[in-house]
């Protein structure tokens, strides 16, 4: 069924529904073909008999010379030739008037239900029999027979199906009796077993109907088992996640299915798993935030409680400095926490587009260079991307934040008057950005730890509260959301650590 268009379940539904219809269609076509073959065979048989009988009547029951005509006793010849058990034979003269009838010859009385008796003295009664009413089936049958006889009197062989006087269908053959070229009469043969044949054929259709019904019922049950019940199970599992607080949908038997329901189940499991991981991350983030905020708050409370009992101006001034630093630290924490909490929403809201990373980094470096003062840490850009620009797919604001965080982090560790070198290059379908500083480097055991939330290790003399420990964590989150990676290592010169290096890898935009 894979050649059918659409999905797997769609193909299954179409196939099962068409199968039952196909059974009926094939059965009808086969039986129609059989019925038509039987009718044609009956016509051929009657035609052969009629032509033989017409030839015998022409030779044995023709009188008159030079004008030939049928012998009034031709009915005797018809009696010898006719077989009233299988068909009815009638003989008509050249004017279309009946001369003989095999049923009458064989003393067969035509039976039909008589109408209700009419009052005495009413007209229309002849020898106890009533004439057929105008427009009745018997009148229509006689008219059809008369038309068939008149066509045969013109020398045509007429064969086909028509209705008899009793309303049944008959196979009729009318053959002109010709003497040389003169038409002396018409021989009509009728077989009224057509309805019996059709009835038997309809009986043979019953197995096809039963098979079609069985296929339809089976397909309905199968579709219920394959679609309705699994969907109900998915709905119940989703309700458990919603009402009972479950963290994931787990339906392994449905996830193994190789169809749309299997895809849906796996997607729901992945979605709930991702939501569970996101909830865990939020809970962890909330715990980290509470811990980080609790430290300056504890310091603030201790300083405020101590401030009332200290009278020494120098000590009071020192406590006020601590209060200011703690407030500054809280302000920095709240700002960075706010930026981190909005990061996912900003990444999902902004649509990615092609970005010239060299131009973006050049603008950022130019901003640092314009704001630099004598003795500040300088920032320079070196490019090795070639003639073509270094194009990546991403969000300009988020990527700009990554480079600003990395440059700010490098400046905080670099001695005054040194330089931070930013290098851009392309390699193997990637754009590689390297930010190097001249600071003390990174302890080997902390090369991965520095990307964790709220981790910070400042050199002595750095401004207290000036860093929240979220900058590198935000940078890694943004880079990974763009399909890239970031890593840290030390810059080694003559066997000694001469600074830190951050390498940023982003996939190059396809042309």
Q: Per-residue pLDDT for 445 more than 80?
A: yes
Determine the pLDDT at residue 313.
Answer: 83
In a domain, 129, yes or no: no
Determine the pLDDT at residue 117.
Answer: 54
Q: Which residue has the tokens 């579709």?
A: 223
Q: Count of alpha carbons within 13 Å of 245, Cβ hemisphere only?
A: 1
Whether 409 and 439 have beta carbons less than 8 Å apart is answered as no
Determine the pLDDT at residue 464.
Answer: 46
In a domain, 400, yes or no: yes
121: left (phi over 0), alpha (psi -120 to 50) or beta: left
Structure-model confidence comparison of residues 265 and 26, the more confident one? 265
Tell me the pLDDT tens digit for each residue of 455-491: 666 555 444 445 556 778 888 888 888 888 999 999 8
Of 349, 369, 400, the one marking the end of a domain is: 349
CATH code: domain of residue 344: 1.10.287.130
Identify the domain containing residue 431 by its residue range.
351-511
Long-range contacts of 267-274 (CB under 8 A, 24+ apart): 268/234, 268/237, 268/238, 272/241, 272/246, 272/247, 272/248, 273/248
Are residues 315 and 260 both part of a single domain? yes
Are residues 173 and 292 both part of a single domain? no
In a domain, 281, yes or no: yes
Percent of the chain residues past pLDDT 90, beyond the cut: 4
Whether 401 and 470 have beta carbons less than 8 Å apart is answered as no
Confidence of residue 176 (pLDDT cuts 50, 70, 90): very high
In a domain, 74, yes or no: yes
Are residues 332 and 395 both part of a single domain? no
Q: What is the mean pLDDT of the segment spanning 422-448?
A: 87
Of 290, 316, 349, the one marking the end of a domain is: 349
Are residues 24 and 165 both part of a single domain? yes
Confidence of residue 505 (pLDDT cuts 50, 70, 90): very high
Percent of the chain residues past pLDDT 70, beyond the cut: 79
Residue 284's φ and ψ, nearest 5 degrees, are: -65, -40
Tell me the pLDDT tens digit for each residue of 42-63: 888 888 888 888 888 888 878 8
| C-alpha to C-alpha distance for 126 and 39, rounded to whole angstroms | 38
Tell me the pLDDT tens digit for each residue of 114-159: 555 555 544 433 333 345 556 677 888 888 888 999 999 888 889 8
- DSSP three-state, residue 488: strand
Supply the DSSP string of 375-423, one letter for each residue: TSPEEEEEEES-SS--EEEE-HHHHHHHHHHHHHHHHHHSPTT-EEEEE
Strand order in the sheet with 169-179: 98-101, 88-93, 182-191, 169-179, 158-163
Structure-model confidence comparison of residues 396 and 469, the more confident one? 396
Q: Count of alpha carbons within 13 Å of 420, Cβ hemisphere only?
A: 32
Whether 391 and 508 have beta carbons less than 8 Å apart is answered as yes
In a domain, 22, yes or no: yes
Structure-model confidence comparison of residues 490 and 37, the more confident one? 490
Tell me the pLDDT tens digit for each residue of 73-118: 887 888 888 776 668 889 998 888 888 888 775 544 455 555 555 5
Are residues 69 and 190 both part of a single domain? yes
Are residues 212 and 303 both part of a single domain? no
Provide the number of structural domains found in the chain.
Answer: 3
Q: What is the mean pLDDT of the segment spanning 175-202?
A: 82
Of 349, 364, 382, the one marking the end of a domain is: 349
In a domain, 298, yes or no: yes
DSSP state of 191: E
Confidence of residue 175 (pLDDT cuts 50, 70, 90): very high
Tell me the pLDDT tens digit for each residue of 337-359: 776 666 666 666 667 888 888 89
CATH code: domain of residue 90: 3.30.450.20
Which tokens sit at 486?
A: 């970031």
What residues have CB less than 8 Å from 378, skipping those under 6 apart? Answer: 369, 372, 417, 418, 419, 420
Q: Per-residue pLDDT for 174 more than 90?
A: yes
Are residues 223 and 281 both part of a single domain? no
Q: What is the separation of C-alpha 358 from the centre of its chain, rounded to a whole number of angstroms?
A: 44
Are residues 332 and 400 both part of a single domain? no
Are residues 176 and 217 both part of a single domain? yes
- DSSP three-state, residue 65: coil
Which tokens sit at 172?
A: 């009729």
Determine the pLDDT at residue 7.
Answer: 57
Confidence of residue 502 (pLDDT cuts 50, 70, 90): very high
């Amino acid at each position: 069924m894979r050649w059918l268009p659409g999905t797997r379940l769609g193909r299954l539904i179409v196939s099962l529904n068409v199968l039952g219809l196909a059974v009926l269609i094939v059965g009808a076509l086969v039986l129609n073909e059989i019925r038509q073959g039987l009718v044609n065979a009956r016509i051929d048989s009657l035609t052969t008999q009629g032509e033989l009988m017409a030839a015998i009547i022409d030779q044995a029951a023709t009188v008159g010379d030079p004008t030939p005509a049928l012998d009034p006793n031709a009915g005797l010849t018809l009696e010898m030739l006719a077989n009233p058990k299988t068909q009815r034979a009638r003989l008509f003269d050249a004017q279309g008037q009946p001369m003989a009838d095999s049923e009458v010859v064989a003393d067969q009385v035509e039976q039909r239900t008589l109408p209700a008796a009419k009052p005495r003295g009413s007209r229309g009664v002849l020898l106890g029999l009533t004439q057929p009413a105008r427009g009745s089936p018997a009148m229509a049958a006689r008219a059809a027979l008369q038309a068939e006889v008149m066509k045969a009197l013109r020398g045509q062989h007429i064969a086909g199906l028509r209705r008899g006087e009793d309303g049944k269908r008959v196979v009729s053959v009318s053959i002109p009796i010709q003497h040389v070229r003169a038409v002396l009469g018409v021989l009509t043969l009728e077989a009224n077993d057509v309805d019996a044949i059709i009835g038997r054929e309809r009986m043979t259709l019953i197995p096809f109907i039963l098979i079609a019904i069985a296929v339809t019922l089976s397909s309905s049950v199968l579709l219920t088992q394959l679609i309705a019940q699994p969907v109900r199970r998915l709905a119940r599992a989703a309700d458990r996640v919603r009402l009972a607080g479950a963290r994931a949908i787990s339906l392994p038997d449905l996830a193994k299915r190789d169809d749309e329901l299997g895809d849906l189940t796996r997607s729901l499991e992945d979605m709930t798993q991702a939501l569970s991981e996101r909830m865990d991350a939020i809970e962890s983030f909330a715990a980290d935030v509470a811990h980080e905020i609790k430290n300056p708050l504890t310091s603030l409370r201790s300083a405020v409680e101590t401030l009332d009992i200290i009278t020494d101006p120098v000590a009071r001034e020192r406590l006020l400095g601590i209060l200011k630093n703690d407030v500054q630290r809280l302000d920095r924490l709240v700002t960075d926490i706010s930026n981190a909490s909005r990061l996912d929403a900003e990444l999902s809201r902004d649509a990615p587009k092609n970005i010239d990373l060299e131009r973006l980094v050049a603008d950022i470096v130019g901003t640092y260079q314009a704001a630099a003062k004598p003795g500040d840490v300088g920032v320079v850009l070196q490019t090795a991307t070639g003639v073509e620009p270094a194009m990546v797919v991403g969000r300009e604001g988020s990527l700009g934040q990554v480079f600003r965080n990395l440059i700010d982090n490098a400046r905080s560790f670099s001695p005054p008057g040194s330089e931070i070198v930013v290098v851009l290059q392309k390699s193997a379908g990637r754009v590689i950005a390297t930010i190097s500083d001249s600071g003390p480097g990174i302890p080997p055991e902390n090369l991965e730890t520095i990307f964790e939330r709220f981790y910070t290790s400042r050199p002595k003399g750095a401004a207290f509260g000036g860093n929240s420990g979220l900058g590198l964590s935000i940078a890694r989150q943004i880079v990974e959301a763009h399909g890239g990676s970031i890593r840290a290592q030390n810059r080694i010169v003559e066997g000694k650590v001469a600074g830190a290096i951050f390498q940023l890898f982003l996939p190059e935009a396809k042309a």
